[in-house]
Chains A and B, each alone.
Chain A
Amino acid sequence: MNWLISDTWTIVIGSLCAVACALPGALLVLRRMSMMGDAISHTVLPGLAIAFLLTHSRAPLAMFIGAAVIGVATAFFIQGVQKLGKTESGASMGIVFTTLFAVGLVLMRQAVDHVDIDPDCVLYGAIETAGTTWQYITLLGVTAPRAVFVNGGAMVVNLVLIALLYKEFKISAFDPALATTLGISATLMHYLLMTMTAATAVAAFESVGSILVIAMFIVPPATAYLLTDRLAVMMVLSAVFGVLAAVFGHVAAIIVPPWFGFEGTSTAGMMAVVAGLLFALVWLASPRYGVLARMYHRLVMSMHVLCEDVMGLLYRLEELTDTQPATMPVADMTQALVARAWLVRRALGSLGRQRMIRRGDLGYVLTDAGRDQARQLVRSHRLWESYLAHYLRLPADHLHDPANRLEHAHELADKVDVALGRPETDPQGKTIPSRDNQ
Chain B
Amino acid sequence: MNQPTANPPRTAAADADRAVPPARMASRGVTDDQTASATPVAHTAPPTGEEHPRTAPLAIHDMTVAYDRKPVLWDVDLNVPEGQLVAIVGPNGAGKSTLIKAALNLMPMVSGQVLIYGKPYRKQRHLVGYVPQRETVDWDFPVSALDVVAMGRYGRIGWFRPVTRKHRRAALDALERVEMAQYAHRQISQLSGGQQQRVFLARALAQDAKLYFMDEPFASVDAATERAIVRVLHELKDAGRTVIVVHHDLQTVTEYFDYLILLNMRVVTHGPVDDVFTQENLRMTYGGRLTLLSEAAQLFTQQSRSPRVD
Residues of B within 8 Å of A233, CB to CB, are 142
Q: How far is the CA of A183 from the CA of B105 in the complex (A)?
A: 11
B128 contacts partner chain A, Cβ-Cβ < 8 Å: yes
Q: How far is the CA of A59 from the CA of B189 in the complex (A)?
A: 49
* 4 closest residue pairs by CB, A with B: A229-B187, A182-B155, A229-B142, A181-B130
Using A167-B162, A174-B151, A225-B142 as known contacts, list a sample of 19 further A-B pairs with CB atoms less than 8 Å apart, ordered by residue number in A. A30-B142, A166-B162, A170-B143, A170-B147, A174-B138, A174-B141, A174-B143, A174-B148, A175-B137, A183-B122, A184-B154, A184-B155, A229-B142, A229-B144, A230-B142, A230-B187, A231-B147, A233-B142, A234-B142
> What interface size band does chain B fall in?
20 to 34
A228 at the interface (CB under 8 A from B): yes
Within 8 A of A (CB), among B149-163: 151, 154-155, 157, 159-160, 162-163
A132 part of interface (Cβ distance < 8 Å): no
Beta-carbon contact of A164 and B136 below 8 Å: no
A293 at the interface (CB under 8 A from B): no
Assess whether A182 is in contact with B154, with CB atoms less than 8 Å apart. Answer: yes
Distance in angstroms between the alpha carbons of A175 and B130 in the assembled complex: 11
Known: A170-B143, A171-B151, A182-B125. A177 touches B130 (CB 8 A): yes
CA distance A68 to B217 in the complex (A): 43
Is B106 an interface residue when CB atoms closer than 8 A count as contact?
A: yes
Contact A231-B159, Cβ < 8 Å, known A174-B151, A181-B104: no
Within 8 Å CB of A179, what residues of B? 154
Alpha-carbon gap, A167 to B104, bound state (A): 21
* CA of A229 to CA of B138, assembled, Å: 13
Report how far A173 CA is from B148 CA in the complex, Å. Answer: 12
CA distance A158 to B95 in the complex (A): 41
- Indicate if B132 sits at the interface (CB-CB under 8 A): yes
A-B contact pairs, 8 of them (CB 8 A): A168-B159, A171-B154, A174-B141, A174-B148, A174-B151, A178-B130, A182-B125, A231-B141
Q: Are A167 and B157 in contact (CB under 8 A)?
A: yes
Q: Which residues from A are CB-within-8-Å of B136?
A: 175, 177
Tell whether, in the assembled complex, residue A183 and residue B155 are in contact, meaning their CB atoms are under 8 Å apart: yes
Smallest CB separation, B180 vs chain A (Å) = 17
User: Is residue A102 contacting chain B, with contact meaning CB distance below 8 A?
Assistant: no
Contact (A167, B125) CB under 8 Å given A174-B137, A177-B130, A231-B143:
no
B154: chain A residues within 8 A (beta carbon):
167-168, 171, 179, 182, 184
| Prevailing SS type, chain A contact patch | helix
Contact B141 A173 (CB under 8 A): yes
Interface: A295 (CB within 8 A) = no
The one of A164, A170, A174, A229 that contacts B160, using a Cβ cutoff of 8 Å: A164
- Complex interface residues of chain A between 95 and 113 (CB less than 8 A to chain B): none
The answer to whether A175 touches B142 (Cβ under 8 A) is no
Partner of A178, one of B151, B157, B162, B189: B151
Verify if A180 is at the interface (C-beta below 8 Å from B): yes
CB-based contact B106/A181 at 8 Å? yes
Residues of the B chain whose Cβ atoms lie less than 8 Å from the Cβ of A175: 132, 136-137, 151
The verdict on A137 contacting chain B, using a C-beta distance below 8 Å, is no
Contact with B along A24-38 (1 / 0, CB 8 A): 000000101000000
Q: Which residues of B contact A182 (CB under 8 A)?
A: 125, 154-155
* Contact of B159 with A184 in the complex, beta carbons under 8 Å: yes
- Kindly provide the distance from the CB of A177 to the nearest chain B CB, expressed in whole angstroms: 5
Task: Indicate with 1 or 0, residue by residue over B270-281, a CB within 8 angstroms of chain A CB atoms.
Answer: 000000000000
CB distance from A264 to the nearest CB of B (A): 38
Report how far A308 CA is from B163 CA in the complex, Å. Answer: 50
A180 touches B160 (CB 8 A): no
A231 surroundings in chain B (CB, below 8 A): 141-143, 147
Interface string of A168-204 (1 = CB under 8 A from B): 1011011101111111100000000000000000000
Question: How far is it, in angstroms, between the C-alpha of A166 and the C-alpha of B142 when the chains are bound?
Answer: 14
In the complex, chain A residues whose CB is within 8 Å of the CB of B138: 30, 32, 174
Most chain A CB inside 10 Å of its own CB: which residue of B128, B151, B157: B151
Q: How far is the CA of A165 from the CA of B143 in the complex (A)?
A: 16
With A and B bound together, what is the CA distance between A163 and B141 in angstroms? 19
- Of A168, A173, A181, the residue contacting B125 (CB under 8 A) is A181
Interface centre among A168, A179, A182 (most CB of B within 10 A): A182
Contact call B132/A230, Cβ cutoff below 8 A: no
Residue of B nearest to A31 (CB): B138
Q: Is the CB of B142 within 8 A of A228?
A: yes
A413-425 to B contact mask, C-beta < 8 Å, 1/0: 0000000000000
Question: Beta-carbon contacts of B162-182 to A below 8 Å, as 1s and 0s?
Answer: 110000000000000000000
A231 vs B128: C-alpha distance in the bound complex, in angstroms?
A: 27
Q: How far is the CB of A324 from chain B (nearest CB, A)?
A: 45
How far is A154 from B18 in the complex, measured between Cα atoms in Å? Answer: 60
CA distance A352 to B141 in the complex (A): 45
Q: Which residue of B lies closest to A234 (CB)?
A: B142
**C-alpha spacing A228/B140, complex, angstroms:** 11
Q: Assuming A174-B151, A175-B137, A178-B130, is B163 touching A167 (CB within 8 A)? A: yes
Check A177–B106 contact: CB distance below 8 A: yes
Nearest-neighbor residue (CB-CB) of A235 within chain B: B142
Residue of B nearest to A173 (CB): B141
Q: Which one, A32, A170, A178, A181, contacts B105 given CB within 8 A?
A: A181
Collect the chain A residues with CB atoms within 8 Å of residue B157's CB: 167
Tell me the residues in window 1-47 of chain A with beta carbons closer than 8 Å to chain B beta carbons: 30, 32
In the docked arrangement, what's the CA distance between A179 and B125, Å?
11
For the complex, give the distance between the alpha carbons of A165 and B160 in Å.
5
